[in-house]
Chains A and B, each alone.
Chain A
Amino acid sequence: GAGVSQSPRYKVAKRGQDVALRCDPISGHVSLFWYQQALGQGPEFLTYFQNEAQLDKSGLPSDRFFAERPEGSVSTLKIQRTQQEDSAVYLCASSSVNTNTGELFFGEGSRLTVL
């Protein structure tokens, strides 16, 4: 497709399970971002990749969160030993430029519910 694709759209996990969320950015986009969004709130930054390099992971809330983009295209956000407070929508965005003023193109998000 032409846009950013995320999967799964919905994920229900039991507390303690590991989950993996996938992001397919727009082809050729250099920059990729992961954000976490609570209901009715603005997205909160998690991590940023430029090609395959993870340049900023300052927003990852704990060491249970891990992201990778090994070939500079598809990215995976992994959450280990999920907790209820991890319940949120996880948004992936990509940009064609490696600066911070370019337009971000967002996927529809992956809604994670931890029971």
Chain B
Amino acid sequence: TQLLEQSPQFLSIQEGENLTVYCNSSSVFSSLQWYRQEPGEGPVLLVTVVTGGEVKKLKRLTFQFGDARKDSSLHITAAQPGDTGLYLCAGVSGSARQLTFGSGTQLTVLP
């Protein structure tokens, strides 16, 4: 059972389109991270958000942490084939020591 639910589970778009991926939970997180994973590789950290309402931009990627720190979104503008991968949100809630990962969004950007 995943504490963090991501949507959509699968997304296939054309190069140049914009997209948003959502990460939702009923739990409050002290911080939330986004990772991208390519086939045969481990996840790689994209960003960490720690403050409710925080917005971070990383080139064409915009990350937002919800005011209540229960949800987050990742927006990609002008997607490129190189953006293809499994996008994972991960956070720590309560007294847990470990990151809990979301269910993932598999993004495919077609040329």
Chain A residues proximal to chain B, CB less than 8 Å: 4, 33, 35, 40-45, 48, 55-56, 59, 91, 93, 100-101, 103-104, 106-109
Question: Which residue of chain B has its CB nearest to the CB of A98?
Answer: B97
Whether a CB of chain A sits under 8 angstroms from the CB of B84 is no
Q: Which residues of A contact B42 (CB under 8 A)?
A: 4, 91, 93, 106-109
Q: How far is the CA of A73 from the CA of B31 in the complex (A)?
A: 27
Chain B 87-101 against A: per-residue CB contact (8 Å), 1 yes, 0 no? 010101000111111
Do most interface residues of chain A lie in helix, strand or loop, or is the interface mixed? loop
A101 touching B45 by the CB < 8 A rule? no
Contacts of A4 in B (CB 8 A): 42
Q: Which positions in B face A, CB cutoff 8 Å?
A: 2, 4, 6, 30-31, 33, 40-45, 48, 50, 86, 88, 90, 92, 96-104, 106
Number of A-B contacts (CB under 8 A): 64
B104 touches A41 (CB 8 A): yes
Establish whether residues A106 and B98, one from each chain, have CB atoms under 8 Å apart when the complex forms: no
**Identity of the chain A residue whose Cβ is nearest the Cβ of B92 in the assembled complex:** A100
Determine the distance from Cα of A108 to Cα of B37 in the docked complex, in whole angstroms: 10
Closest to A9 in B: B40
Known contacts A42-B104, A101-B48, A101-B50: A108-B2 contact under CB 8 Å: no
What are some 10 contacts across the A-B interface (CB < 8 A)?
A: A42-B103, A43-B88, A44-B101, A45-B101, A48-B98, A100-B96, A100-B98, A103-B48, A108-B42, A109-B42
